[in-house]
Structure 1
Amino acid sequence: MDLGPHAAFIWISYAAVTVTITGLILWLIADGRKQAADLEALERQGVKRRSAAPGVR
């Protein structure tokens, strides 16, 4: 595969996109865990979800 004179730019662009997407995925995983921990802490304090059916925990 011949990328011509712009090969370095193309490879750097692919690397930048890969790093960005990987960073976003890791951020989403970390944020999801934080949200779950925050929700668990609220439930331990007795705060209920408005969307929960009455009597269901």
Structure 2
Amino acid sequence: MMMSLGPYASFIVTSYAAAALVVVILIGWIALDYRSQTERLRELDRSGVTRRSGRSATDTP
């Protein structure tokens, strides 16, 4: 089934390709940032840093 996009076919195809490229770039950026953040959290955990929200209200700082 071949669709006829008319005289604006190149604009339509380019627009869809650009949108797909932006989505792929954003997915890659999020994946790399996720890896970076989890590695940073592992480093902090290994160095003994804990979350303040993990303490109870009766604990002394």
TM range (shorter): 0.7 to 0.9
Letter in 2 for 1:41: E
TM-score, scaled relative to structure 2: 0.80
Could you report, residue by residue, the CA deviation over 1:4-51 in whole angstroms, capped at 9, with x for unpaired residues?
100000000000001100000010000000000001101111100223
**% identity of equivalent residues:** 46
Instruction: State the secondary structure of the residue aligned to 2:53.
Output: coil
Q: Match for residue 2 of structure 1?
A: 4
TM-score, scaled relative to structure 1: 0.85
Any stretches of 5+ residues in structure 1 without a counterpart?
none
Q: Give the number of equivalent residue pairs.
A: 54
